[in-house]
A = this chain, B = another copy of it.
Amino acid sequence: MSRKNSLLSCCRGDELEGLSASKSSCLYKKGQVIFNEGSKPSGLHCVHSGKVKVCKMGSDGKEQIIRLAKPGDVIGYRALMADSNYSASAVAMDDAVVCYVPKSQFMELIHENMDFSNGLMKLLSKALGEAEERMTQMAYKPVRERLAEALLLLQKTYQQDENKENFTIAISREDLASIVGTAKETTIRLLSEFKDEQIIATKGSSITILDADKLYSICHLYD
């Protein structure tokens, strides 16, 4: 297991004893807000269990999901490091346990621990690369391709059992549309197409990926 990947997972830190000591946990029910766009960060949050979405509100009231967070992921670090207000909100998509680390502890660590600081930088670089990638996709890829990509992202992010053939996730069509950046109805229509093509199966709000390879080829990830 890579040390770097868990560098920031305060919930099982090695060199982060100090953080662990001062962290507190909180349970958020499905739909509850962890922090709000525009407010000032007073610390850092780490997802311990459950699914969390990080999202921005467009001027027309439509929501865009910027990032999906899973257990072990840190959220809200950008605002803290830029010393600015949150540019996005974090909301629990399931019941989720989220730990909290006060800003002072975080800053101490940044200034004293070089490894931690470097890890953070890599994290930021990676996030920036991903954001730029998605920007390009939003610009030119049609919705069908972006939806295929979103389904694969969900699988990559939330599939716990690697071997298990058919990944299933319960997600509202609204949230899915917010990841893709499109209207709910368009998402539903395209999901119906995917169903007809036997790429997925649905039951209520649950979506099961039957043929990930087809999804890959739809979004040209084989190029």
Contact = CB atoms under 8 A, between A and B. Distances in A.
The complex is assembled from copies of this chain, and their number is 2
Contacts of A133: 56, 87
Interface in A190-205: none
Contacts of A139: 58, 62, 64, 138, 181-182
A59 B83 CA distance: 36
B134 A78 contact: no
Nearest to A181: B139
A58 B138 CA distance: 10
Given A81-B121, A87-B129, A131-B131, A141 B64 contact: no
B181 A140 contact: yes
A127 interface: yes
Interface string A77-93: 01101111001100000
Interface in A133-160: 133-141
B81 A125 contact: yes
Contacts of A81: 121-122, 124-125
A30 interface: no
A105 interface: no
A109 interface: no
A223 interface: yes
Contact of A138 (B60, B121, B126, B181): B181
A59 B181 contact: no
A193 to B, nearest CB: 20
Given A56-B133, A128-B131, 7 more contacts: A56-B136, A59-B223, A66-B135, A87-B133, A110-B118, A111-B114, A135-B138
4 nearest A-B pairs in the assembled complex, by CB-CB distance: A139-B181, A82-B125, A131-B131, A138-B138
